């Protein structure tokens, strides 16, 4: 009986203290109107993040070249075959490198590697972890 009495007293004390704790956290949080006003001011100043973006906004990079200069450089790179395809990033692919082996040699090497179990599975890079 004493255990039941002690548990009920603890439960009652917790129930009485819970609303006080909630009132303290609610008082320190800004109101909805405050948050909306801050957001409106940030949008007006151009400091608001776009929906779905995280972190701090990147500073606008200013170009040191004229538009005509950039267009001329791009045209020259396309003519020389040095321009990247639209949507490609990073260094140009090494697809332009020509093989020094005949097709039959490559096929024979691949067949041998498969037989020995040293061939890299399809879709893998071959780099060891």
Give the pLDDT band of residue 102 (cuts 50, 70, 90): very high
What's the sign of the alpha-carbon dihedral 29, 32, 35, 37?
negative
Q: What percent of the chain has a predicted confidence (pLDDT) above 70?
A: 68
Return the number of other C-beta atoms located less than 10 Å from residue 18's C-beta: 10
Task: Name, in order, each residue with C-beta under 8 angstroms of 47's C-beta and a sequence gap of 6 or more.
Answer: 57
Q: Residue 115 in 3-state DSSP?
A: helix
Give pTM, 2 decimals: 0.28
Q: 2-11: per-residue pLDDT in tens?
A: 777 666 766 7
Report the chain's terminal Cα–Cα distance, integer Å: 63
Q: Write down how long the chain is.
A: 129
Torsion of CA 19, 22, 24, 25, to 10 degrees: 180
Are 70 and 63 within 8 A, CB to CB? yes
71 has pLDDT over 80: yes
Q: 4-56: per-residue pLDDT in tens?
A: 766 676 677 667 766 665 655 556 788 999 999 998 998 888 887 777 777 66
């Amino acid at each position: 009986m004493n255990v039941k009495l002690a548990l009920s007293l603890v439960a009652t004390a917790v129930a009485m203290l819970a609303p006080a704790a909630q009132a303290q956290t609610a008082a320190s949080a800004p109101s909805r109107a405050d948050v909306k006003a801050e957001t409106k001011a940030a949008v007006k100043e151009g400091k608001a993040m776009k929906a779905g973006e995280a972190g701090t906004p990147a500073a606008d990079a200013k170009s040191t070249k004229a538009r005509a200069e950039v267009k001329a450089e791009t045209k020259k790179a396309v003519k020389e075959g040095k321009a990247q395809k639209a949507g490609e990033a990073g260094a140009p692919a090494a697809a332009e490198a020509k093989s020094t082996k005949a097709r039959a040699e490559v096929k024979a090497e691949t067949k041998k590697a498969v037989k020995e179990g040293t061939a890299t599975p399809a879709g893998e890079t071959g780099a060891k972890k």
